[in-house]
């Protein structure tokens, strides 16, 4: 019986702390209607920046299992940004 009471009190305290912490967030306050939604916070449409054209490899890819695949210098030192 005592475990039930202690668990209920602990659960109530945790729920109160989480509710108070959540209610301090501006997004939660606007969802609950505690503060009005400001008109200037609407987001504009963001255009995706153009991606740079990365050059394709001009040499053929090494075959799987070949010795060249393990010790290819370009594999280790040619790192694209």
57, 78 Cβ separation under 8 angstroms = no
Q: What is the pTM of this model?
A: 0.39
User: pLDDT confidence of 52, banded at 50, 70, 90?
Assistant: confident
Model confidence at 21: pLDDT above 70: yes
Q: What gap in Å lies between CA 28 and CA 31, rounded to an integer?
A: 5
- CA 71 – CA 36 distance, rounded (Å): 64
Vertex 10: Cα angle to 7 and 15 (nearest 5)? 120
Whole-number pLDDT of residue 32: 78
């Amino acid at each position: 019986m005592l475990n039930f009471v202690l668990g209920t009190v602990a659960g109530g305290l945790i729920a109160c702390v989480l509710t108070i912490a959540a209610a301090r967030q501006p997004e939660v306050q606007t969802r609950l209607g505690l503060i009005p939604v400001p008109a200037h916070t609407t987001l504009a449409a963001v255009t995706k920046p153009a991606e740079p054209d990365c050059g394709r490899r001009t040499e053929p890819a090494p075959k799987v299992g070949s010795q060249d695949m393990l010790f290819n210098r370009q594999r280790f030192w040619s790192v694209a940004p």
